[in-house]
Amino acid sequence: MIRLPFYVFFIGGFFSYAAIFFESPAASITMSVIGMTLSLYIWYIISYNRDTHLKRMLEKRFITYDEVREQKISLNSRFWVILYSVSFIAMNVSGLLVIKALLDNIDIAAQPPVMEELVATLGTEYVLFSWIFFISGILSLFLYGKLITMLYNDENKIQTFEGKRRNMPIIVFKPLSILLMILFTLVTYGLFSWFMRYRLASLQRIHNYMEKNIEKTESVKDKEEEKRVEKPEEIAKTLLLKHSDILSSTPEDPQRKEAIASLFKDLGELKTEQARSLLSTLLSKELLTENEFRKLTRLLV
């Protein structure tokens, strides 16, 4: 996961809106380009983190490809971010060219011209850029809604499946209304879009932090389980050493009977072949008598 620091959002938002307060066209355009670049960079990083998380969940089988298809979860949100970036750039560039054409050819103090005179004065390029601005603006709104669907609403679905299959709390509780998100963004002149991206980045950071803690806990439990569950070969070696000492130090009754009983009890931890092999080893070392060996062998059947 790639972390997005707070200052990236602050700088991006500042340059995006500070441009309108500068009279110098060069300064205004430069700030707009910096703000737009950071804006699209943030979208791409958020989508990269989302796609990486989904890929990891599929690899660990916390969600299946069938569930992804059923829930209509997109596997690659970065493709849509690239489309949005192209549309967004086209909208901003064409908008700047339309404004430049108006400022260069229309006297604001004079009486506003009618549409026919405006088109005749500005030429076909103005009409072309106006159409590009209009079409790319509509397309940008559609793709913006698509991004919210994939980066927020799909995350809700992914976390729901993940929460069912591991001890992972869900932090994206319910999907958002795409129409309301678009409306808020338009009303706030894009400020709401910055808020949404900051919220998405924060949720990803929190989820990643919880995921790492859970994985650490699971890793510790797995290691403890491995230590607790020894391999049969290791158990056999441990029992051989243990009972070699016990049998060699208890040659006579009544401790001998207790030692044989303890040996038989521990043989239950081994498979039959391994238990017989252990008894044969003890017999070859003369730690068991022939009679004891036969009795224990019969009890193993």
pLDDT at 229: 54
pLDDT at 38: 94
Q: From residue 240, give the alpha-carbon distance in Å to each of 179, 236, 263.
A: 73, 6, 10
pLDDT at 286: 77
pTM of full prediction above 0.85: no
pLDDT at 41: 95
Q: Which two tokens stand for residue 7?
A: 């200052």
Comparing CA positions, the residue from 47, 41, 126 lying closest to residue 88 is: 41
> In this structure, how many other beta carbons lie within 10 angstroms of the beta carbon of residue 34?
17
pLDDT tens-digit profile, the chain (301 residues): 899 998 999 999 998 888 777 777 778 788 888 999 999 999 999 999 999 999 999 998 889 999 999 999 999 999 999 999 999 999 988 888 887 777 666 655 555 555 566 666 666 777 888 899 999 999 999 999 999 999 999 988 988 888 888 878 888 878 899 999 999 999 998 899 999 999 999 999 998 898 888 888 878 777 766 655 556 667 777 777 787 777 777 666 667 777 878 888 887 777 788 888 888 888 888 778 888 888 888 877 6
Helix axis angle, 78-105 to 115-122, nearest 10°: 100
153 touches 71 (CB < 8 A): no
Residues 6+ apart with CB under 8 A from 88: 36, 39, 40, 136, 140
One-letter identity of residue 10: F
31 touches 15 (CB < 8 A): yes
